Structure 1
Amino acid sequence: MCEDHHGGPGRRALFVTGAAAALTLGSVSFASAAGRGQDDGDQETRTVRGTLPPGSPDFVYVPVEVPAGVREIKVAYTYDRPSVPAGTTGNALDIGVFDERGTELGGRGFRGWSGGARTEFFLRADEATPGYLPGPVREGTWHIALGPYTVAPQGLNYEITITLTYGEPGETARPVYPPERARGRGRAWYRGDCHLHSWYSDGRRTPAEIGELARAAGLDFINSSEHNTHSAHAHWADVAGDDLLVMLGEEVTTRNGHVVALGTDPGTFVDWRYRARDNRFGRFARQIRRAGGLVVPAHPHATCVGCNWKFGFGEADAIEVWNGPYTPDDEVALADWDSMLVASVRDGRDWIPAMGSSDAHRSPDPVGSPQTVVLADDLTRRAIQEGIRAGRSYVAESARVELSFRASGGRGEHAGIGERLRVDPDTPVTVRLEVTGAPRCTVRFVTDQGVLHTSAPLPVSGSGTVEWRTTPAYAAYVRAELRHEAAAGPVPGALAAFTNPIFLGRGSA
């Protein structure tokens, strides 16, 4: 049986869900809903087709009337990809599903999302396609969620095939989650990558493969961050170990930017169906914190559609300044973050630490490049989060790069990364950076006035020590950058590492 969704006013309803505008199409019904019995293993299939015009709402819902006695629901879809002129976006259609509990913002009925990574999915009590949550297929109105990410000028023609399989539902296994601590070294520097994707969203690696790569990269901790789904949470327990802490989270992928929920409680789902103009982000930032997580805007100046961060930074616990291979948008993010440091000094308010992550999806994306190196009291979820939140961290391109960054006053006062050296404005201050693993890199000391000291290139051995003297009256903070050789001219080379600041003086920032 086929059904067309042509988009006439009698077949759909446009409404606002408290977030982005959404479109609900006509219901898809099955014969058993009218009372016809089914034998174990019997199947019914419906196919629906339709067209979405340019300017479609962010989310289009296809209601599916699921009768009693269904063991499994399977959905497959296709859509056309017509040629478009250069500089014009083509068609891209995401997909997911909500169960009989509904599509209300907050995700009570959420059962999975694969974005554009898969052309079909299934779910039943004992198993589901990666990205989706296993569980019973209960009677009621389910909704296939379509996300027209971009629509070509010609429109987007789609076809959805829904197959129900009848029978006994089976049992849903109780999820097992990774522990919240690993065997640490007490108060020490721990290396981690907090933005990674497996095959539970649009990555191509299994959790086990990611764990192996993380260990090879010298990491002590990682964070699960699948796009718009928490379905991976129950699949990391076997990856974690005494030598690797696995935290759980999500990359909340909205149409106005992405945010990493870092280290949330197991099973936490964070909705993504809103834009900056909907004034809903604060609600979900608070949800992340209530679930024990950190709010980390990701790649804020990335150029992909929907990636640029437009929610402001008032809710941020940290900012992912460096994402994957160092590129011009990371340079812009670094400069923007530095301007925020200046504003925090000027206004006497809290500052937002920076961090970096690989955002690795598939081979050859390297896990742990870059990585955030955190001074924490132990290798536990809470201790790592506290170190990140306090800014006791630096970002390095690999485990080969090690930094020690300190500031000291004339009477033995000293402070490290993320701390404040509380001395009088005219007190001489010595800033000292010790480096290993960075051959021929240049050290730059950056303050609220800009770059005030640049070293000669480090030797081929990659090790060296650079000192600089200043006063709090001259520099409200100092942070260090380690740069590779520049390709040409005055443009600085790519980062090899950078630190969060050390603040100077008796201020309150």
Structure 2
Amino acid sequence: MTGSIARRGLLLTTAATALTLGPVSFADAAPGREDEGGEYRERTVRGTLPAGSPDFVHLPVEIPRGVREITVSYAYARTPVPAGTQGNALDIGIFDERGTELGGRGFRGWSGGARTSFFLRTDEATPGYLPGPLGAGTWHIVLGPYTVAPDGLPYEVTVALRIGASAPAPELVYPPERAGGRGRAWYRGDCHLHSVHSDGRRTPAEIAAAARAAGLDFINSSEHNTHSAHSAWQGLWGDDLLILTGEEVTTRNGHVVAVATDPGTFVDWRYRARDNRFGHFAKAVRRAGGLVVPAHPHATCIGCHWKFGYGEADAVEVWNGPYTPEDEVALAEWDNSLVAATRTSKPWIPAMGGSDAHREPDRVGLPQTVVLARELSREAITDGIRAGRSYIAESSAVSLALGATGGRGLHAGIGERLPAGPDTPVTVRLEVTGAPGCTAHFVTDQGTLHTSALPASGTGTVEWRTTPANAAYVRAEVRHPGSVPGLPGAPAALTNPLFLGSGSAGAGGRAG
């Protein structure tokens, strides 16, 4: 089966910006060859996607009864292009006979551009894909032309079926919602990680081992556009490690990490900012018990820059992996949002960090979000993140304690408010360990108002006196020496703010 996109009778679909190709049918196929896996049948489709193709192209496949395995492989031409011109990149995934409706039940897997082939059976599937019944009906292979060269994107898709009895479906086992923990304490976690279930190279077992080595107490499974890893952690959790389940929702207008959703939750990604669908899926994340966290909002990769705004955000990732100028921009933008929140008395959005680790030498836990929680449980950790009771550190060697005291002996910590009159003297105190050679900075709505070098050991205390009239909020940054003239050094740690003076606005403002 061959032909360009223009000759195949494209039909407009209802799932985001998508077009549908003519169907692939096995109904008239001659009997396939027999082997130890059963009868084998195969069909290949070739075509060319033109420049300006829609975000998603659906290839319908008519699946007959009695199929025990579906295998899909694909290839496409990486046409040479002039410098500065986008070349070809083609993603792939599949939906079953229940359909391709946006947010529907038909999703069966996505590997983006990380794999050239995948399979599905009742009992097993390629990582990134969901095992389960292979029902008869119209399935859809979904092609995602991420970028298309000016001369078009030639592609080839091969679908193979094995006919025969299916194995029993496995019982899915998900991580527990609570670990042993230390009662009310500061817990360290990494909520942005990738395994072989999307474009990572580590197995879940390798991630769990790396998390323990990094001194983490919790992690969040956040594969690109699939929840297949939710059931891949059996035997890897323990009293010392809480495993949360989520997804990195990777749209064409930015990425958002869904943190700690109910196991088995699928969050659709097939929309752009102009489609006005993000709010619907953000609410679905929260209904599933999760947090909505825009990831690396100023990343320069194609489709990574965040364009949905922050009205639905429960937190924002301001530090992604090794610190870069993109993170510095994200940090400055977030700080500006704190100023706006204090001016309008509206809820503020907490900051967090994540490693976005994919493979060696990416470090799991660089950075890590350190959360004050009543226990090591899914609910307590998400409550702490949502309330802004957290800070970000480059490793488990770095610890901070930020607090303020004022009139009548009142005290407030990170994410809290210290009630005090405009001219009431307030003492802000920062305790630091594990940051040799660093400098402490107190940042307010007026900018950085106090800086102090830490002792050579990296352990010390910094105090500063101010008033609510002079600083509506205070947050701390602990930074390494700068390596580029005119630019600040990378942080060893930074905190969410504590607020000074009267006011009622807290973090978030959305239902959990």
TM-score category, normalised to shorter length: over 0.9
The equivalent position to 1:492 in structure 2, one of 488, 493, 496, is 488
* Counterparts of residues 258-337 of structure 1 (less than 5 Å): 258-337=255-334
Structure 1 residue runs of 4 or more that deviate by more than 2 Å after TM superposition: 31-34, 36-40
The residue number in structure 1 matching 2:79 is 82
Distance 2:449 2:498 in 1: 15
**Where does 1:299-378 land on structure 2 (aligned, <5 Å)?**
299-378=296-375
> 1:479: how far off?
0.3
Q: Distance in 2 between matches of 1:18 and 1:99?
A: 14
Q: Does 1:169 align with 2:166?
A: yes
Q: 1:450-507, CA deviations, whole angstroms, 9 ceiling, x for partnerless residues?
A: 1111112x22211111111110011100000011001143321111110000000011
Q: 1:240 aligns with which of 237, 242, 257?
A: 237
CA distance in 1, matches of 2:85, 2:9: 28
Residue type of the alignment partner of 1:322: W
Paired residues of 2:92 and 2:113 also in contact (CA < 8 A): yes
Which residue is equivalent to 1:23? 19
Letter of the 1:5 counterpart: G
Contact map agreement 1:33 1:66 (CA 8 A) in 2: no
CA distance in 1 between counterparts of 2:72 and 2:495 reads 47
Shift of 1:153: 1.2
Structure 1 residues 408-423: aligned runs within 5 Å: 408-423=405-420
Query: Which amino acid in the other structure matches residue 101 of structure 2?
Result: E
Letter in 1 for 2:468: P
The alignment status of 1:197 with 2:194, answered yes or no, reads yes
AA at the equivalent of 2:464: W
Q: 1:227 aligned to 2:224?
A: yes
Distance 1:107 1:98 in 2: 10
Q: Is the 8 A contact 2:246 2:261 kept in 1?
A: yes
Per the alignment, in what secondary structure is the counterpart of residue 395 of structure 1? strand
| Matched position secondary structure for 2:339 | helix
Identical residues among aligned pairs (%): 74
Q: How does 1:44-83 map to 2 (within 5 A)?
A: 44-83=41-80
CA distance in 1, matches of 2:135, 2:4: 29
On the 8 A contact 1:437/1:463 being kept in 2, the answer is yes
Distance in 2 (CA, whole Å) between partners of 1:369 and 1:478 is 24
- Structure 1 unaligned residues grouped into runs of 5+: none
Within a 5 Å distance, the mapping from 1:109-188 to structure 2 comes to: 109-188=106-185
The reply to whether residue 463 of structure 1 matches residue 459 of structure 2 is: yes
Q: What 5-or-longer segments of structure 2 have no aligned partner?
A: 506-512
Residue 398 (structure 1) aligns with = 395
Q: Is the 8 A contact 2:32 2:40 kept in 1?
A: no
CA distance in 2, matches of 1:246, 1:330: 26
- 1:14–1:23 CA contact under 8 A, matched in 2: yes
For the residue of structure 1 that corresponds to 2:199, the secondary structure is coil
Contact 1:107 1:269 in 2 (8 A): no
CA distance in structure 2 between the partners assigned to 1:66 and 1:320 by the alignment: 42
SS in 1 for 2:244: strand
Give the counterpart letter for 1:8 in structure 2: A
What SS class does the counterpart of residue 90 from structure 2 fall into?
Answer: strand
Please report how far the alpha carbon of residue 5 of structure 1 lies from its aligned counterpart in structure 2 after TM superposition.
Answer: 3.2
SS of equivalent to 2:146 = strand
Per-residue deviation, 1:18: 5.3
Contact 2:32 2:39 in 1 (8 A): no
Aligned-pair CA distance for 1:31: 3.8
Counterpart selection for 1:448 from 445, 449, 474? 445
The separation in 1 between residues aligned to 2:241 and 2:415, in whole angstroms, is 25
**8 Å contact kept, 1:103–1:143:** yes
1:413-437 deviations in Å (ceiling 9; x for gaps): 1100000000111000011101010
- Work out whether residues 12 and 23 of structure 1, in 8 Å CA contact, stay in contact via their aligned partners in 2: no
Bigger shift: residues 426-435 or 84-93: 84-93
Map Cα deviations across residues 176-235 of structure 1 (whole Å, 9 max, x no partner): 001000001111000000000000010000000000000000000000000000000011
- Residues 85-139 of structure 1 show CA distances to partners (whole Å, capped at 9, x for unaligned) of 2221111100000011111101311000000000000001011000000012111
Cα 1:385/1:73, change in 2 over 3 Å: same
Counterpart AA for 1:437: G
> Which residue type is aligned with residue 443 of structure 2?
V
Q: Secondary structure at the match of 1:189?
A: strand
In the TM superposition, residue 16 of structure 1 has moved relative to its aligned partner by 4.8
Counterpart AA for 2:415: G
C-alpha distance in 2, partners of 1:184/1:496? 25
State the shift of 1:292 in Å. Answer: 0.5
Structure 1 CA distance for aligned equivalents of residues 32 and 330 of structure 2: 60
Distance 2:486 2:429 in 1: 25
- The alignment of Structure 1 onto Structure 2 pairs a total of residues equal to 503
Q: Is the 8 A contact 2:223 2:247 kept in 1?
A: yes
> Is the 1:107–1:270 Cα contact (8 Å) retained in structure 2?
no
Distance 1:179 1:233 in 2: 11
Distance in 1, matches of 2:81 and 2:492, equals: 39
Q: Please give the secondary structure, in 1, of the residue aligned with 2:209.
A: helix
TM-score by length of 2: 0.96
